[in-house]
Amino acid sequence: MTLRSVILGTGSYLPKKRVTNHDLSQHLDTSHEWIMERTGISARHIAAPEEYTSTMAIEAAQKALTAAQLTAQDIDMLILATSTPDHVFPSTASRIQESLGISKGFAFDQAAACSGFIFALATADAYLKQEMAKTALIIGSETMSRLLDWEDRGTAVLFGDGAGAVVLQAQTQTDRGILGSLLRTNGAGYDQLYVNGGPSTTQTIGTIQMNGREVFRNAVNRLEEAVEGILKIHNISQEEIDWLVPHQANKRIIDATAKKLGLPEEKVIHTGADQANTSAASIPLALDNAVKDGRIKKGDLVLCEAFGAGYAWGSTLIRM
């Protein structure tokens, strides 16, 4: 009996505060035109002081549970993909587990920067297939705004806050579910995109440092590898893909990947214009957006991809 990890529900949460490019240009030497042309971003949502990675994750998770018609009692595995935990330890996943009222199984955080959700989905899929759990909550939640140097126009304009979640269940006798994932890292990119703080080095939190050009060049090349690679492994042609749900770092990077796949614009889910780069939260946010507005339907073949700090990158193929 083949076990498949099937997505039963999705949910997401965005903070109320919306900051436009125009708002940023009031105190930064930048413009709406520059940001739009280089990134496709026109606004981002920013967490209120009393909102944390955990509180946003809980909102998204509750919506995903409702969509799946399940309750917290059904969940026996919780993985939180994040680079912005509430505290260094315990895991923010533990706090979410307790707040949701999940009383069995296990919960942990997983960090792979912007590729965190792809890595968490792949981990969950492997654990479900090993029957270590039956029903999982996989969440991406980030308060990127707290890692930004708001004086640095090179990074401050790129990121936003938010959370997205999916409920995954191990099922047999179904064609639906995760078909497979491709994960890659190359530590040679460590210094090109990183946060210059940490408990074992500076004992401060630090802010995001980035060599934008170098990250851009690597992202385009690595994502080409990730999408072509996973299609080859699963013997799937480009024409069979119904939707591309990419990590929303930059519209130009997404356009390059879609072009490589020969996918028309209307098959690509874009949420970056209003949400910016929410790191590990961007794929579940985009997925939920397209499920809720009726574009992505049961049975559709979805390709997700991400590239980010590490470098870490990857892709996942899902029959919804």
Residues serving a catalytic function are 114, 247, 277
Reported as type and span, the H/E element at residue 167 is strand 161-171
Distances (CA, A) of 90 to 21, 85, 143, 203, 302: 36, 9, 17, 17, 34
Q: What are phi and psi of 74, to 5 degrees?
A: -80, -15
Residue 154 interacts with ligand ACO (CB under 6 A): yes or no: yes
Name the segment binding ligand ACO (CB under 6 A); options: 44-52, 151-159, 163-171, 294-302. 151-159
Nearest to 218 by CA among 279, 115, 114, 307: 307
Residues near 14 by Cβ (< 8 Å), separated by ≥ 6?
45, 161, 162, 275, 285
CB 121, min distance to ligand ACO, A: 17
Residue 254 interacts with ligand ACO (CB under 6 A): yes or no: no
CB 83, min distance to ligand ACO, A: 8
- Classify residue 68 by burial, with Cβ atoms within 10 Å: 0-12, 13-18, 19+: buried
Residue facing ligand ACO at closest CB distance: 308
Nearest to 44 by CA among 3, 8, 14, 65: 14
CB 31, min distance to ligand ACO, A: 6
CB 216, min distance to ligand ACO, A: 4
Q: How many residues bind ligand ACO (CB under 6 A)?
A: 23
Q: What are phi and psi of 6, to 5 degrees?
A: -100, 135
Write the interaction track for ligand ACO spanning residues 57-96; mark x where CB under 6 A is met and - where it is not.
Answer: ----------------------------------------
Q: What are phi and psi of 42, to 5 degrees?
A: -120, -20
The CA distance from 177 to 195, in Å, is: 35
Please give the structure tokens belonging to residue 220: 């385009």
CA Rg, the chain, in Å?
A: 18
Select 35 or 68, whichever has its Cβ closest to ligand ACO. 35
Residue in 77, 114, 163, 291 binding ligand ACO, rule: CB under 6 A? 114
Residue in 216, 258, 276, 288 binding ligand ACO, rule: CB under 6 A? 216
The CA distance from 85 to 92, in Å, is: 6
Select 177 or 246, whichever has its Cβ closest to ligand ACO. 246
* 3-state DSSP assignment of residue 27: coil
The CA distance from 154 to 209, in Å, is: 9
Write the interaction track for ligand ACO spanning residues 18-47; mark x where CB under 6 A is met and - where it is not.
Answer: ------------x---xx--xx--------
Whether residue 84 contacts residue 147, with contact meaning beta carbons closer than 8 Å, is answered with yes
Please give the structure tokens belonging to residue 189: 């990119």
Residue 157 interacts with ligand ACO (CB under 6 A): yes or no: yes
Name the segment binding ligand ACO (CB under 6 A); options: 68-76, 85-93, 103-111, 208-216. 208-216
Residue in 113, 133, 230, 302 binding ligand ACO, rule: CB under 6 A? 113
Residue in 180, 206, 212, 229 binding ligand ACO, rule: CB under 6 A? 212
Residue 308 interacts with ligand ACO (CB under 6 A): yes or no: yes
Chain residues in the site for ligand ACO (CB under 6 A): 30, 34-35, 38-39, 113-114, 153-154, 157-158, 193, 210, 212-213, 215-216, 249-250, 277, 279, 308-309
